[in-house]
């Protein structure tokens, strides 16, 4: 690196196979809007979920076009709801265990797994590193960087709960995808944006995704 050159230090966003691809899209849009660099890892299972929930086939060779199409969708599935510049994104294939995020020496601010399936939770908690998503999460923990796990499953059985406690003990933030209604949601996108906003709150990234509680009853009756 040349003297005076600014090192790119991204947030790693991992998308696992749980239902809830609109949560990932909202987080990605907000990170890019905040001027943050993003490294994206999309698991094999999440491609099936994305295809089922949006009709989009996410392809390694055409990831920029597919990502742009995905991020343009609203939570209701309507196209062109958002216009997003994806030039701040670097994509890594989930099968590439030699990718940058697989190493602790690779510069990163932290990692957000959104949504996180119970299989992904188990893999990270047990340190399996079966793909790049799990390996990057393990690296994030061992390097002491922020890791947010947006688990999307219900009900949760005992083994998953124990895995989540393991992640909490390791320093991760366990953030269930639980929308709130006090912010005056009137549309499905508002509920999705609340979860995305809380995800970014956990790592200190500024956003305007939801109206914050100000201690006044009825103050959240009108969303942003």
Binding residues for dimethylallyl phosphate, by number, are 182, 198
Q: Give Cβ neighbours of residue 157 (< 8 Å, ≥ 6 apart).
A: none
User: 170 near 143, Cβ under 8 Å?
Assistant: no
Crossing angle (nearest 10°) for helices 21-33 and 188-201: 60
Burial of 104 (0-12, 13-18, 19+ CB in 10 A): middle
Binding-site residues for FMN, please?
Answer: 17-19, 43, 152
Binding-site residues, please?
Answer: 17-19, 43, 152, 182, 198
Nearest to 27 by CA among 70, 62, 57, 78: 70
């Amino acid at each position: 690196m040349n003297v005076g050159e600014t090192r790119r230090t991204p947030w790693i966003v991992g998308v696992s196979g749980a239902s809830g691809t609109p949560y990932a899209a909202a987080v990605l849009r907000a990170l890019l809007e905040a001027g943050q660099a993003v490294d994206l890892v999309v698991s094999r299972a999440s491609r099936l979920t994305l295809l089922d929930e949006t009709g989009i086939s996410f392809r390694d060779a055409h990831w920029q076009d597919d990502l742009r199409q995905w991020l343009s969708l609203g939570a209701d599935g309507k196209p062109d709801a958002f216009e997003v510049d994806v030039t701040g994104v670097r994509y890594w294939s989930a099968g590439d265990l030699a990718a940058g995020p697989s190493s602790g020496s690779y510069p990163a601010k932290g990692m957000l797994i959104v949504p996180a399936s119970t299989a992904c939770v188990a893999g990270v908690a047990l340190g399996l590193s079966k793909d790049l998503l799990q390996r990057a999460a393990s690296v994030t923990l061992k390097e002491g960087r922020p890791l947010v796990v947006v688990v999307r499953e219900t009900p949760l059985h005992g083994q998953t709960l124990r895995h989540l406690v393991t992640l909490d003990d390791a320093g991760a933030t366990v953030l269930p995808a639980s929308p709130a209604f006090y912010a005056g949601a009137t549309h499905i996108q508002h509920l999705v944006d609340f979860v995305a906003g809380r995800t970014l709150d956990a790592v200190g990234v500024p956003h305007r995704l939801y109206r914050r509680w100000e201690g006044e009853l009825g103050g959240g009756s009108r969303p942003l």
